[in-house]
Amino acid sequence: MNKRLTENRLMNITLFYLSRYESSTEKVRSMLNRRLRRMKIQGEEIPPEAPVWIENILQKIQKESYVDDNRYAENQVRSLAAQGKSEHFICAKLALAGILGDRVKEILDSMESTEESRAKRFVARKKIGYLRPRRDRQKFWEKDMAALARAGFSYDIARQALTDESEES
């Protein structure tokens, strides 16, 4: 038999989630709403005040600094930039977490990494472009360009990243 849904139970669910994942306010809201939908599908009774409880919980966790959207955004931007992700990809990913693109661009501008350096990092991680054996470079050119395009890099930056042989030993 399932426990009755209360605000305290939702708070415990939230704290357990936050103990495992760094999150934004919007991601916590989405997680709680998904949880309510799942409970409803499983036949549990969802009190009509549950949406109000969710908003109360979000206010509490922000007040106690369990969730800080700025901290989350900075950590995610730094992590994704280090992985060689494009500005377009980073903005899209954080938009899903409820972080506005202006804030993301602000963080990216304050970092030393540029779109070109992130593209070079992407090329290095995938071992494509100038890192392929010389005999395969032309054969895989279009495929490598497509990979960079899917990753959100412009044509010029992709071309430059794939042909930059200054790092080749």
Per residue of the chain (169 residues), give pLDDT as tens.
467 899 999 999 999 999 999 999 999 999 999 999 999 999 999 999 999 999 999 999 999 999 999 999 999 999 999 999 999 999 999 999 999 888 999 999 999 889 999 999 999 999 999 999 989 999 999 999 999 999 999 999 999 999 866 544 4
31 within some domain: yes
| Same domain as 120, residue 159 | yes
User: Angle between the 115-126 and 141-150 helix axes, to the nearest 10 degrees?
Assistant: 130
**Count of domains in the chain?**
3
Judge if pTM exceeds 0.75. Answer: yes
| Same domain as 137, residue 106 | no
| Same domain as 49, residue 85 | no
100 within some domain: yes
| Same domain as 59, residue 11 | yes
| Same domain as 40, residue 58 | yes
168 within some domain: no
* Residue 113 pLDDT: 85
169 within some domain: no
| Same domain as 56, residue 76 | no
| Same domain as 119, residue 106 | no
| Same domain as 126, residue 79 | no
24 within some domain: yes
CA–CA distances in Å: residue 131 to residues 62, 78, 143, 145, 154: 46, 25, 14, 14, 20
* Residue 165 pLDDT: 62
* Residue 169 pLDDT: 43
3 state SS for 64-77: CCCCCHHHHHHHHH
40 within some domain: yes
| Same domain as 87, residue 53 | no
Q: Which domain holds residue 41?
A: 7-63
